[in-house]
Structure 1
Amino acid sequence: MRRLVLSALLTLAGLHGAQAQDAAAGEKVFTQCKACHQIGEGAKNTIGPVLNGVIGRPAGSVEGYSYSAANKNSHLTWDEATFKEYIQNPRAKVPGTKMIYAGIKDEKRIDDLVAYLKQFDASGKSAP
């Protein structure tokens, strides 16, 4: 009986983890970001920098984009945890950032956005 219960719990935990991030839903969340950012092959810096390869990238490092001193000197690397904290309230995480955005408060939407962003490597190619 214990094995059955343990097996069921592990299965449910695995399902929860699998559902934790949804790239398709994250693409919908990204529509808010499109006003300032581009992603994918052919993306260009606009009001904000290109977000290709953002997860794992040092802050303030996209060539050709004029970052605030606060962002360039933040010494952050956009790993998942740092990005998630930033996107909740950019000005709280990096005081002096040029990013004028109130943030995303819903953790599921943030997880989905991260799943979407993670699909794109630095060249803008997406993983199959």
Structure 2
Amino acid sequence: MTRLTSSVLIAFTFLTAAASGALAQDIDLAAGKSSFNKCLACHAIGEGAKNKVGPELNGLDGRKSGTAEGYSYSDGNKNSGITWNESQFKEYIKDPKAKIPGTKMVFAGIKNEQEAGDLWAFLAQYDKDGKTK
């Protein structure tokens, strides 16, 4: 097999797997909204969201940890160096205390990869003003 044929075959296999969902999960915003119900006791999102026991989550995608205005963060969150994105969030939400030692967040975590991805997609759709993008 020639090098070009081998490369084309690898690319075709990758694209076929990705199209079939084998490499990328299908995002379900409704499921993410439903999953957010686990967060509602402590967090708010959307227009008019205010800090509660935890910070409001508007504009989370790209926000530095420990910077929501008016919220009193733990030193662990303020000094974590995290800028929230999908991969950081998914790692965090599995076990918040393991990802950020000293966090005030008391939550057992979401271990299911699909649920964590759906929740991230739901959260990431809100800009800093609480409007959906």
Q: Distance in 1 between matches of 2:65 and 2:126?
A: 17
TM-score by length of 2: 0.84
Q: Return the letter of the residue paired with 2:106.
A: I
**Partners of 1:19 and 1:74 in 2: how far apart?**
28
Higher-RCO chain (CA-CA 8 Å, sequence separation at least 6): 1
Q: Which amino acid aligns with 1:82?
A: Q
Q: 1:10 offset after TM fit, Å?
A: 3.6
Matched, 1:51 2:57: yes
Structure 2 spans left out of the alignment, 5+ residues:
1-10
How far is 1:118 from its partner? Answer: 1.1
Contact 1:45 1:64 in 2 (8 A): yes
CA drift of 1:58 comes to 0.3
Shift of 1:24: 1.2
1:103 maps to 2:109: yes
Task: Give per-residue Cα distances to partners, 1:66-102, cap 9 Å, x unaligned.
Answer: 0001100111111111111000000000000000001
When the two chains are superposed, the root-mean-square deviation of aligned CA atoms in Å is 2.0
Larger radius of gyration: 2
* Equivalent position of 1:90 in the other structure: 96
Structure 1 length-normalised TM: 0.87
CA distance in 1, matches of 2:57, 2:122: 11
Alignment: residue pair count: 124
Structure number with the higher helix fraction is 1
Q: Please state how far the C-alpha of 1:26 moved relative to its aligned partner.
A: 0.3
CA distance in 1, matches of 2:43, 2:30: 18
SS of residue in 1 equivalent to 2:40? helix
Going from structure 1 to structure 2, the CA distance change for 1:7 and 1:57 (only over 3 Å counts) comes to same
